[in-house]
Structure 1
Amino acid sequence: MKYSGRIVGSLGLFLLHSVYIFYYYFRDNSVEPLDLYSYPFLVFFGYWAGKQYDKVRFYSEKDELTGIYNRRFVMNTYDKIFSFAERANSKLFILVVDCDSFKTINDTYGHHKGDMVLIKISELLVESTRKSDIVARWGGDEFLVIGHYNGEAGLETVLNRLEKKLENLSDQVKIPVKASIGSAIYPNDSMDLFELLKKADGQMYNCKASKSIF
């Protein structure tokens, strides 16, 4: 959670109260003791109010369970992301990651265990991608990763890293966990977010279907 609200709130009230005190000092050549003693209270109040703002800002962009970005953040920023990629003449990859048989996990092991699986998946997605990549919970047991595309070999490296860590996830949570991944490339596959998601979703479901055959 960022501290911008707390910094602005406490510093803003400190400066505002300082202006108030200087004004009356130059006007009356004196300062009321109460005005000086109120500094800590005002700074504390500014910090508290700023903290509430930081919380609202944080939860408007982040998923409450996993702490990664949420669907709202992606929807609000994808235009900027794609515009920046276009100006830089670069490409982006979009990954859709879906936990296989998540309903079965919830029904068999309970929602607490299901939540733990989602948290662990979000953690390994963050660990397996670059800091500049966006990792978001798109909804339910589906996650989204957006990053700079450096060619097919680079994307394969990311996918292999993710698949390897997902295989080890079962040992960490002590229950069978598998996930399916689909990908799409901007602008090769489309320049529209929902078309890219449709493409990645199709690949993801093909991946899921291929597992059920064997």
Structure 2
Amino acid sequence: MPYRGRILATGIGLLFNILRYFYYHQYLGLPFYWTFFVLTAIFLSIAWWAGKQFDKVKYLSERDPLTGTYNRRTVEEYFHKATKISDLKKQSLGVIMLDLNKFKEVNDEFGHQKGDELLIQVATALTTFVGKHDLVARWGGDEFVVLVDNMQENTADDYVKELQQAITLRNAENFPNVEASVGYSLYPQHGKSFQKLVQEADAYMYKDKKEH
């Protein structure tokens, strides 16, 4: 969970206490007492607590509660920011759609709790595999979407295969029969809108799924 809210709130609280000191004890010339530090500590504690609540709400609003990856709304918002950066750098942005094969069988045979465990492990494998400027989100059910910064068209197929292998290896011990079907599209080569690129990647993914 990020600390932005806590840092900002504490900084404002600290600034308030500095201004309070100069106003009462420098400008007005009132005597300085040790209780000033007690009040400062109280103000800063309240500011830290308020900032923590803000960080918690913001984190939960952006994340999938089960896997901890980003949610659908956040990935769409991030896409628009990422395309602007890609345009400036004249680079491609990859949109990867991923769907687990035989996920229904896992739920039917072992129960939904085991299915949730699989989704968490897949999410961990994805976040471990991708780069620091990439984004992993749960699209819904057993589907994930990954935005890949500066994804090269001539190496995209190799990247996808490595990603599939990373998921299989991660789950080999507990879920040996689970694999992932993956499809991708590239901005701006295959489209400029997020919906168009998702459709292209989705079609590619289901083609891969039929082959398995």
Aligned to 1:2: 2
Instruction: Determine the C-alpha separation between the residues in 1 that align with 2:10 and 2:152.
Output: 44
The answer to whether the Cα contact below 8 Å between 2:75 and 2:137 also exists between their aligned partners in 1 is: yes
Flag the 1:25–1:167 CA change in 2: closer, same or farther, 3 A.
closer
Instruction: Determine the C-alpha separation between the residues in 1 that align with 2:176 and 2:153.
Output: 35
The answer to whether the Cα contact below 8 Å between 1:97 and 1:204 also exists between their aligned partners in 2 is: yes
Structure 1 residue runs of 4 or more that deviate by more than 4 Å after TM superposition: none
Instruction: Determine the C-alpha separation between the residues in 2 that align with 1:14 and 1:185.
Output: 47
RMSD (CA atoms):
1.8
Percent sequence identity is 32
| Larger mean Cα displacement after TM superposition, 179-188 or 168-177 | 168-177
Instruction: Determine the C-alpha separation between the residues in 1 that align with 2:178 and 2:73.
Output: 27
Shift of 1:85: 1.3
The answer to whether the Cα contact below 8 Å between 2:9 and 2:47 also exists between their aligned partners in 1 is: yes
The answer to whether the Cα contact below 8 Å between 1:129 and 1:158 also exists between their aligned partners in 2 is: no
Aligned to 2:17: 17
The answer to whether the Cα contact below 8 Å between 1:189 and 1:196 also exists between their aligned partners in 2 is: yes
Instruction: Determine the C-alpha separation between the residues in 1 that align with 2:133 and 2:56.
Output: 23
1:149 to 151, 155, 175: 151
Shift of 1:195: 1.0
Equivalent residue pairs, number: 210
Gaps of 5+ in 1: none
Instruction: Determine the C-alpha separation between the residues in 1 that align with 2:44 and 2:144.
Output: 40
Shift of 1:138: 1.4
Aligned to 1:58: 59
Instruction: Determine the C-alpha separation between the residues in 1 that align with 2:38 and 2:9.
Output: 19
Aligned to 2:71: 70
Match of 1:19, as an amino acid?
L
Shift of 1:21: 2.9
SS of corresponding position for 2:64: coil
2:113 aligned with 1:117: no
Shift of 1:96: 0.3
Instruction: Determine the C-alpha separation between the residues in 2 that align with 1:170 and 1:78.
Output: 29
Instruction: Determine the C-alpha separation between the residues in 2 that align with 1:111 and 1:171.
Output: 19
For each residue in 1:63-84, what CA deviation from the matched residue of structure 2 results, as whole angstroms up to 9, or x when unmatched? 2222222211112121221122
Aligned to 2:104: 103
The answer to whether the Cα contact below 8 Å between 1:60 and 1:72 also exists between their aligned partners in 2 is: no
The answer to whether the Cα contact below 8 Å between 1:169 and 1:177 also exists between their aligned partners in 2 is: no
